Structure 1
Amino acid sequence: MAVARDGGQMPAHVHVVGAGVAGLVAALALARGGHAVTLHEAAPVAGGRCRALPDGTDNGTHALMGANHAALRFLDAIGARAGWVEPEPDGLPMLDLADGSARRIAAAPLAWRDPARRPPGLTAGGMLALLGMALPFTDKPVAAALARHPALLRGFVEPLAVAALNTPVAEASSARLGQVLRRVRSAADARLLVARDGLGPDLIAPALAALRAAGAEIRFGSRLRALTSAEDRAMALHLAEESVALGAADAVVLALPPWEAARLIPGLRVPDRHAPILNLHFAHPGAPAVRFIGVVGGLTQWVLVRPAGISVTVSAADAETEERVEDLAPRAWAEIRRAAAAFALPGDWPDAPPPCRAVKERRATPRHAVGIAPIAPRLVMRNLALAGDWTWTGLPATIEAAARSGEAAAKAIAARLPRPVALGRAGA
């Protein structure tokens, strides 16, 4: 039990709504700060877009980079860092389906001194164009910013931009991509990491275990239907099967998608245009090691090979999410087989695709187009903070943005709560 500074029992209780990455980060920070925390999640599982699916596969080819310091801090905090491995330490394998060229590209600019690891089409002019995007002075579509360097755009910048911004390069913001480029300065920043066994065992399960160990209560199937507010304070939460009145010292962190936050808080400005992501999961067990391969010029964009199976991510998938999995799977599998041959992946690669499961996230992220996106305040009310990747303006909607927003929301709320003091130390 925690006590207030005067020695009495601290009445503050924080309700974190939403168990995606942002909510998990905020809840753990507050619980380990000594506050009573209840984490509410409408779904039967945690993780949000980083969730593990019922069959154990991941919802996508989620990866981190060494520059994702907040996400890596969270992995350290939950004791899960060892489960994230670097599958391609010698550079990212990239296959161009147009001409069959296969190369390894370094993500760190300093490594481009080695011609074998440079992006295709990189010239002095291309370097200046990349530098121009990295500087926070202009904003134009990525395709327009690289119009004079089509080979560099196609073979390197477009795959990076579509993965980071989930927006076609014809409309994607060069300023938003610049936020990513500015963070990748060294080889350590450019390290690509993926969950060795999957998001379930390597992120979500250890996060939930850490929360329970910190004393947090976790409620699944607990959807926030509405909230009551008055005098710039949240007064009550109306959940799936109960309403919870908030005491004078209680607080709320809303870690929800933008449309849910807008539903609950009238007048809140949120992004209203979203882009889909298509994920294909093939049952193909037996790979001896984790691999991560990029594909240019086809349906597939990123292929994650694990011993348990293969996952493919198609970002900015406006057209692809309208197609049937029966049509998508053979196309994707043919490209996977070409990538496996190009980079000599061991194992059996039959002509016919193995069983495939498609997951279509139709509102996966906001569209990161040119212009200033709606900026939501961190504190919407005196006792209510927002979290979520869409609330972190310093990066596009990514795992790192979600983690940073969770940290910021926890800090903003903790500053307004009575500081907990360990029992027996009052007056010390």
Structure 2
Amino acid sequence: MTFHVVGAGVAGLAGALLLAKAGHRVAIHEAAPSPGGRARALPDGTDNGTHALLGANRVALRFLGAIGARDAWIEPEPAGLPVLDLADHQARCVALSPLGWARGARRPGGLTLGGLLALMRLALPGADRTVAAAFAAHPALLRTLVEPLTVAALNTPAEEASARLLGIVLRRLALPGAAKLFVASRGLGPDLVAPAIATLACHGATLRSGARLRAILREGGRATALDFGEEIIALQPEDEVMLAVPPWEAARLLPEVPAPDRHAPILNLHFAHATEGPVRFIGLLGGLAQWVLVRPGGVAVTVSAADDSVGLSDDVAAVRIWPEVREAALSFGLPGDWPVAPPRARAVRERRATPRHGITPRPRPPRRPLANVALAGDWTLPDLPATIEAAVRSGETAAAVLMSAPLPKDPA
């Protein structure tokens, strides 16, 4: 009996690990030259974007523990998130947990009693509306806290984003330790993808890269073969398949499966800039960039919900973003030289980074579209934002379905 996992993104890796640890034979097939999906490292080893986890992402953190990578994810800003407002050039440290807002200096700008009540109402179940509509009476809080959280968690502008989905995020952040921020100390390649592949190999799983699934042959409601072009793998009656691919690939392979067809882009910019000191994570308001991740090997910048900026050339993006990065570095006293002229930069554009998280409900695909096929991928969980957390959850859910086994319990 073989479990074929098609797609070596985070969802596929998480599902494959659950299968392999249960003692099953697992064969992973990845279309790209290297595994990782949207968490894939660039050829030089740097991340494709600025990725972070919160303490609320308990399933993703458990997965990191299972692959021996948990200690590589560090908390860069334990004292609170450094935030620079480019409109008035004020630099402040904002508490990530609402419990820290008791101190006025650590509150988000524009936080009033009315705004706090609006946040509490958002965390309660109810009829959906856009985030912007939910905070129309609190524009300052929308700008300084709610909109940055919206684009970070939902990758969708506040004027379009679902208040219901953002409310789910807020409810999770209310748990003890849930607001702690973690980043990979070296990058997703060495601190997520590589240890996952190594752990899978220790459990006997195999990985074949550069193998794009062309078609799923089927008969009588079952998959009978996987067509990879140069090779067709016939499925034995007892074999199972996990399809952990992006929604457009799932729709190509299984046209009857409902899948999101509207996506939001992310623009990532990587500056070749050697820095000293520890890893830092800084938020920006009022500029093009939103998040700055500073590691010794370089500076990574993310623009989420990047409809208006994903088409910028590398040079134009660097000229516009570097002054924002430089001001943030100087405002918070980051060590090293921060020249006026932007260093060499490379843009990474994810034009279909996530589904759009609007108020129109996302399609809900069946977990088992065929008798021996289960779907995985962050897009298959429409009640959650499409994140690393959702990817891990979907992969483990699909694996449990294929094995008819209970899911692992979330950590307390």
The answer to whether TM tops 0.5 is yes
Question: Quick check: 2:361–2:382 contact (8 Å CA) kept in 1?
Answer: no
Cα deviation, residue 264, structure 1: 0.4
Question: Which position in structure 1 is the counterpart of 2:402?
Answer: 413
**1:336 matched to 2:317:** no
Work out which of the residue numbers 312, 315, 337 in structure 2 matches 1:323.
312
What secondary structure sits across from 1:182 in the alignment?
A: helix
**1:364 matched to 2:345:** no
Question: Which position in structure 2 is the counterpart of 1:204?
Answer: 193
What secondary structure sits across from 1:379 in the alignment?
A: coil
Distance between the aligned counterparts of 1:123 and 1:375, measured in 2?
38
Question: Which position in structure 1 is the counterpart of 2:408?
Answer: none
Per-residue CA shift, 1:276-328, capped at 9, x if unaligned?
A: 00000000113211000000111110000000000000011111111111111
Letter in 1 for 2:57: N
Work out which of the residue numbers 66, 69, 83 in structure 1 matches 2:72.
83
Check 1:376–1:264 CA distance in 2 against 1; reply closer, same or farther (3 A cut): same
Letter in 1 for 2:316: D
Work out which of the residue numbers 39, 43, 61 in structure 1 matches 2:50.
61
Letter in 2 for 1:149: H
Cα deviation, residue 369, structure 1: 0.6
What secondary structure sits across from 1:61 in the alignment?
A: coil
Question: Which position in structure 2 is the counterpart of 1:161?
Answer: 150
Check 1:117–1:186 CA distance in 2 against 1; reply closer, same or farther (3 A cut): farther
Cα deviation, residue 187, structure 1: 4.8
Work out which of the residue numbers 213, 219, 222 in structure 2 matches 1:233.
222
**1:15 matched to 2:9:** no
**1:120 matched to 2:120:** no
Question: Which position in structure 2 is the counterpart of 1:147?
Answer: 136
**1:277 matched to 2:270:** no
Distance between the aligned counterparts of 2:351 and 2:103, measured in 1?
40
Runs of 4+ in 1 over 3 A off after TM superposition: none
What secondary structure sits across from 1:320 in the alignment?
A: coil
Check 1:240–1:111 CA distance in 2 against 1; reply closer, same or farther (3 A cut): farther
Cα deviation, residue 58, structure 1: 0.4
Distance between the aligned counterparts of 1:180 and 1:87, measured in 2?
21
Question: Which position in structure 2 is the counterpart of 1:180?
Answer: 169
Cα deviation, residue 240, structure 1: 3.8
What secondary structure sits across from 2:269 in the alignment?
A: strand
Cα deviation, residue 220, structure 1: 0.2
Gaps (5+ residues) in structure 2? 406-412
What secondary structure sits across from 2:172 in the alignment?
A: coil
Question: Quick check: 1:19–1:47 contact (8 Å CA) kept in 2?
Answer: yes
Q: Percent identity?
A: 62
Distance between the aligned counterparts of 2:395 and 2:162, measured in 1?
24
Write the mapping of 1:215-226 to structure 2, written as runs, cut at 5 A: 215-226=204-215
Gaps (5+ residues) in structure 1? 1-11, 417-428
Cα deviation, residue 371, structure 1: 2.2
Question: Which position in structure 2 is the counterpart of 1:9?
Answer: none
Letter in 2 for 1:362: R
Question: Quick check: 1:221–1:240 contact (8 Å CA) kept in 2?
Answer: no
Question: Quick check: 1:139–1:371 contact (8 Å CA) kept in 2?
Answer: no
Question: Which position in structure 1 is the counterpart of 2:409?
Answer: none
Distance between the aligned counterparts of 1:232 and 1:186, measured in 2?
43
Kindly tell me the number of residue pairs found equivalent between the two proteins: 405
Per-residue CA shift, 1:358-383, capped at 9, x if unaligned?
A: 00010110000112111111111121
Per-residue CA shift, 1:185-235, capped at 9, x if unaligned?
A: 145111100000111111111010001000001000011000011222111
Per-residue CA shift, 1:331-350, capped at 9, x if unaligned?
A: 11100011011111111000
Question: Quick check: 1:111–1:187 contact (8 Å CA) kept in 2?
Answer: no
Distance between the aligned counterparts of 2:276 and 2:183, measured in 1?
15
Question: Which position in structure 2 is the counterpart of 1:31?
Answer: 20
Question: Which position in structure 2 is the counterpart of 1:398?
Answer: 387
Per-residue CA shift, 1:35-89, capped at 9, x if unaligned?
A: 1000010001111111110011101110000110111111000000110000000
Distance between the aligned counterparts of 2:127 and 2:110, measured in 1?
23
More moved, 121-130 vs 79-88: 121-130
**1:378 matched to 2:367:** yes
Question: Quick check: 2:275–2:294 contact (8 Å CA) kept in 1?
Answer: no
What secondary structure sits across from 1:247 in the alignment?
A: coil
Letter in 1 for 2:287: G
Distance between the aligned counterparts of 1:55 and 1:331, measured in 2?
24
What secondary structure sits across from 1:380 in the alignment?
A: coil
Write the mapping of 1:86-125 to structure 2, written as runs, cut at 5 A: 86-125=75-114
Question: Quick check: 2:275–2:335 contact (8 Å CA) kept in 1?
Answer: no
Letter in 1 for 2:205: A
Distance between the aligned counterparts of 2:220 and 2:366, measured in 1?
17
The root-mean-square deviation of aligned C-alpha atoms, in Å, is 1.0
Question: Which position in structure 2 is the counterpart of 1:419?
Answer: none
Question: Quick check: 2:266–2:353 contact (8 Å CA) kept in 1?
Answer: yes
Check 1:187–1:309 CA distance in 2 against 1; reply closer, same or farther (3 A cut): farther
Letter in 2 for 1:221: G
Distance between the aligned counterparts of 2:347 and 2:248, measured in 1?
24
Question: Which position in structure 1 is the counterpart of 2:410?
Answer: none
What secondary structure sits across from 1:385 in the alignment?
A: strand
